[in-house]
Structures are given as C-alpha cells and as structure tokens.
Amino acid sequence: MPRTIETTVYTIEEHPNPEKVFEWIRDNWHGLGDFCLEEMVQSIKAFADQIGATPNWSISIVPDRGEFVRFNIESNLSDVVESLDLSGNCPFTGMCYDETILDAFRNAKPDDSLRAVLHEVEYRILKDLHNEGEYIYSDEGLRELCEINEYEFTESGEIA
C-alpha cells in the first residue's frame, strides 16, 4: 500500500530560506531569458529590414565569448537616419529593444560614420541583453518571478 508523506510548501515570501529557492531555480531553470533573446532577435531583424541591411548575430542572455551582432549594409549615415523614425514608440516590433537600437542613432554626432553608429548599436544590443539576463537571474528578479506566478516551494527549495 502506498504511503502518504506530508510536505509543507511555502511561497517565496514565507520560505524560511529563499536563497535555497534561488539556488534551485538557477540550477534548474536555464531558459528564463529566452523570451528576451527572441524579442531582441525580432528587433534586430526588423531594424535590418528597415535600413536594408543583412544582419548576422550570435547572442546570449549571459555574456559569452564570441558573441557578436553585425549589420552589413552599403549606405551612408544620412540615408539610414532618413529611413528611421527616431521619435520613439518602438517602431520596428513594438518591443523595448527597438529603442535600444534607435538610441545609438539619436546619440550619434554629425561627423560619425554609419559604421561607427552601427558599432554602437551592436554594443548596446549586447549590453542591454546582458543587463536583462543579470536581472532575471538576480535574487530580486527571481523573487519577482516567484511572487508574480505564485510559485510554491518545499523547504529544500524545490518547486512544489
């Protein structure tokens, strides 16, 4: 005959050792930032389409050697700026990463080359993505995730 074992479950606010929960999540939920990657890729593609560039990338939510973003384009800065709506409102995909891209153009100096501004775009994409990943896997980010989703955990920190 099977036996029943009672286990107490806790929300993150009630858990006696939330650090155990955070450790368990970091060890077991590796795809928490996948939605950010997907949104960034959509913004990269839409931006490239808008300016007539060919994008190429290898990106990760956490810093990794060999990451890059490149836009191959035969144009000049003034033509590209003319094709963009720099007034805001996430014009490529409706996602916040559109603004990450446009900020490089908004902050460009008149004597900057297109390559220099695209290099800044590439830098900002990786920086924003890594900052997002750092937050997602931080104690604060994990606590927020657990609270919003009302997850429950065992005393050992595993999801119930």
pLDDT, one tens digit per residue, over 122-155 is 999 999 999 999 999 999 999 999 999 999 999 9
Query: The tokens 């590209």 sit on which residue?
Result: 80
Question: How far is residue 149 CA from its own chain's centroid?
Answer: 19
Q: Strand 9-10 to strand 153-154: parallel, antiparallel, or no bridges (unpaired)?
A: antiparallel
Instruction: Identify whether residues 23 and 42 lie together within a single domain.
Output: no
Give the span between the Cα atoms of 47 and 70, in whole angstroms.
Answer: 12
Instruction: Identify whether residues 42 and 27 lie together within a single domain.
Output: no
List strand residue ranges (DSSP E) for the chain, in order.
9-10, 54-58, 68-72, 153-154
List strand residue ranges (DSSP E) for 3-159, in order.
9-10, 54-58, 68-72, 153-154
Give the span between the Cα atoms of 39 and 131, in whole angstroms.
Answer: 15
In a domain, 143, yes or no: no
Instruction: Identify whether residues 73 and 13 lie together within a single domain.
Output: no
Please tell me whether residue 135 adopts helix, strand or coil conformation.
helix
Instruction: Identify whether residues 96 and 18 lie together within a single domain.
Output: no
Dump pLDDT digits (tens) for 100-113. Answer: 999 999 999 989 99
Instruction: Identify whether residues 95 and 41 lie together within a single domain.
Output: yes
Instruction: Identify whether residues 50 and 119 lie together within a single domain.
Output: yes
Instruction: Identify whether residues 20 and 41 lie together within a single domain.
Output: no
Instruction: Identify whether residues 84 and 126 lie together within a single domain.
Output: yes
Amino acid 13: pLDDT: 95
In a domain, 2, yes or no: no
For 65, the domain range is: 34-136
Q: Which amino acid is at 48?
A: A
Amino acid 4: pLDDT: 76
Instruction: Identify whether residues 91 and 14 lie together within a single domain.
Output: no
11, 26, 67, 88 from 46: Cα distances, Å = 40, 32, 20, 15
Instruction: Identify whether residues 27 and 40 lie together within a single domain.
Output: no
Residue stretches of the chain with pLDDT short of 70: none
Instruction: Identify whether residues 27 and 38 lie together within a single domain.
Output: no
Please tell me whether residue 71 adopts helix, strand or coil conformation.
strand
By CB neighbour count within 10 A (0-12 exposed, 13-18 middle, 19+ buried), where does 81 fall? Answer: middle
Instruction: Identify whether residues 46 and 106 lie together within a single domain.
Output: yes
Domain count, the chain: 2
